[in-house]
Amino acid sequence: MKYAQFLIALLFAVSARAADFPTTTAGGESINIPTAHSVLMLRVGDDGRVYELHYGAPEKEIAKTNVLARETELYPPFGDGFILEPALEATHADGNTSTDLIYVKHSTTTIDTNVSLTRIELRDPAYPFFVTLCFKSYAAEDVIEQWTEIRNGENGTVTLARFASAAPQFKAREYWLTQFHGDYKTEATMDEEKLGHGIKILDSKIGVRADRFRFPSFILSLNAPADEETGETIGGSLEWSGSFQLAFDLDFKNRLRALCGINPFASEYKLKPGETFTTPSMLWTWSDSGKGQVSRNFHRWARQYGIRDGNKPRPVLLNNWEATDMNFTEQLIVSLFDGAKKIGADTFLLDDGWFGNAHPRNKDNAGLGDWQANTNKLPHGVSFLASEANKRGINFGIWIEPEMVNPSSDLFEQHPDWAIQQPKREFIYGRNQLDLDLSNPKVENFVWGVVSNTLSTPGVSYTKWDANRFVNQPGSTYLPADEQSELLIKYNFALYGVMSNMAASFPNVMAMACSGGGGRVDYGSMKYFDSFWPSDNTDPVSRIKIQWGFSHFFPAETIAAHVTQMGKRPLKFAIDVAMSGALGVDMDVRKLSPSDLQFLSNSIALYKKEIRDVVEQGDLYRLESPYDSARAALDYVSADKSRAVLFVYQLKGGEDKSVKPRGLDPQKHYRVRATNDREVYTGEIADGATLMRDGLPTECHNAFDSAVIEMIAQ
């Protein structure tokens, strides 16, 4: 029997359950999801399945006579004829391991003048099992946000073994994939390769702060290696802080499918009757102008929709960690406020070591879980410090790590079962600590209490949320035996619940995400944070590459960039590197010479008055890569192209070649002003076309020379 005949017979057989199985619309219906410069084109086949035709340029002509092969199904399920990597694998309540997904209907809702939501409803013709594919289109930013809702209408539990957020296909002659990987202190290292036939997987299996070794974003270049300003390029970024999988399957017809979502490894999910499982969102953007435009699309989207306070200036921080570590007193911390005031910092951030009494936090082996101010160090409490900072015109911030516990703590002694653990196994510690089991509602409430109580302290207006280990013994004393594989998924959903409460309850407390460096850099968490800490490696030479990598997806205001003495580089070089992100300072300013202290103060004043708004709100153009040459260069250009800031970093000695800025208005005339130097000079006025064609001299000859050049339209 032909499949179409079989399908008709089957639908007739279950017609008595018409309420569960709405009539399928006839094949051939087109579903287009457009943005300003791209379109995702879909079509319903005569067999009732939804197929992908094209993602890219909107003027692309797709013949209606195209054969809609099963290999191009938009969201392929397992077990009913599809032979390649599936997006969905489910075992139904009766034990059937096959699923078929047939189109029911779709709808498009206009949310506002820029955003629309398309929902495509599918269902299995033999079971009350429903899948809705959701696409939110952000027109001006050229971003499509995609997620999947899976609903169990059966009488028993359905077991989900795979549940991708998205599984689009691309068609080109060849494919070049750029990933961003690294370990502690080497975060966001770029690595590009040409994809061959078979499956290439980028993933994490470590459960929480899961992008320690790579973050869940990628660049896909079609037909040639990725270029900053030319070529067809696709950017993808998953909104998930847990274990993820990005799988790229190049098939026998040279089509590339990207299966993106939660890592299915050891993560079967029991979907109870009536329950809906919603996957994290996957973000897509397309450009025919290289990866530079992909980045600018993500940055514009993030400021409007993806991060907290996207249009609010980030404060200049002074952190005490390098000055004191955990060894400080109340008097010492108060004395540092004067230094913060002197250099022009907006906020003083008190780092780790302020809490714990029976188990004082003097080293990293005690105190986590006991979130009361240490009375020996801070006899008047945290509110006293905040008050003293505020008296000096400085805001006050504080460090927390609420998801973790030290065995040496009151919390662990009272609730050892609250830690993630495997029965009959000895604990494996990371940084002398364990993860708390957020799948347990009591633990989730406790963690929220830590956050709420700490941020309710009068005078606290900033927090740094750290997470210094991942999960390597994924077991829960709370979850039943048949739900143990759900631990890491439920952990992250609960974590987002706490983070969401924080953002809603404390809208005036800005927050930095920190996870032993860049271990939690994704748009799943960043919607609740203003910035992130990219790496504990603050050597400016290393930071150039680290910040370069993260800049492909995250705007400058999210990238915390602090001036430190790591690497023993020239102070000007360290400051100039930090000024290309969200500027901060992490050093003992009391030990600076009078001239260096004055230079640091002048630099911060310059940044706040003249540079910060262009860097944090402008369009980024990466000009010269630190991977390819002896120097790095980038510029930021304001939306109206009236101002630009160019950064140049000499990594090795070499010829002082002109640097060619990009993004200027060719018709505007700009005054060129080299600044943040001990001898500021003002250059000539030139039109944007000339500056972009001929470039600018930088006076950078030797290793660790640097330049910051402003271009201001006249």
| Distance in angstroms (rounded) separating the CA atoms of residues 273 and 271 | 7
Place of tokens 């299996």: 205
Q: For residue 636, give both structure tokens.
A: 């930021």
56: left (phi over 0), alpha (psi -120 to 50) or beta: left
Q: Which of 284, 30, 285, 249 is nearest to 146 (CA)?
A: 284
Neighbour tally for 686: CB within 10 Å? 18
Residues serving a catalytic function are 466, 536
Alpha-carbon Rg for the chain, nearest whole angstrom, is: 27
Place of tokens 């000499």: 650
Q: For residue 475, give both structure tokens.
A: 């077991």
| Distance in angstroms (rounded) separating the CA atoms of residues 302 and 228 | 20
Across 91-117, b (16+ Cβ under 10 Å) vs e yields: bbbeebebbbbbbbebeeeeeeeebbe
CA distances from 692 to 84, 322, 346, 438 (A): 48, 41, 36, 53
| Distance in angstroms (rounded) separating the CA atoms of residues 393 and 194 | 54
Is residue 702 classed as helix, strand or coil in its secondary structure? coil
DSSP 184-253: TT-TTEEEEEE--SEEEEEE--S-SSTTSSB-SEEEEEESS---SSSB-EEEEEE--SS-EEEEEEE-TT
Is residue 326 classed as helix, strand or coil in its secondary structure? coil
Residues 6+ apart with CB under 8 A from 578: 540, 543, 561, 562, 563, 584
Q: For residue 216, give both structure tokens.
A: 């869940």
Q: For residue 501, give both structure tokens.
A: 């409460």
Is residue 628 classed as helix, strand or coil in its secondary structure? coil
- Give the torsion through C-alpha atoms of 336, 337, 341, 346, to 10 deg: 110
Give the number of residues written for the chain: 714
| Distance in angstroms (rounded) separating the CA atoms of residues 136 and 119 | 9
Q: For residue 91, give both structure tokens.
A: 């075992």
CA distances from 223 to 157, 197, 288 (A): 45, 15, 12
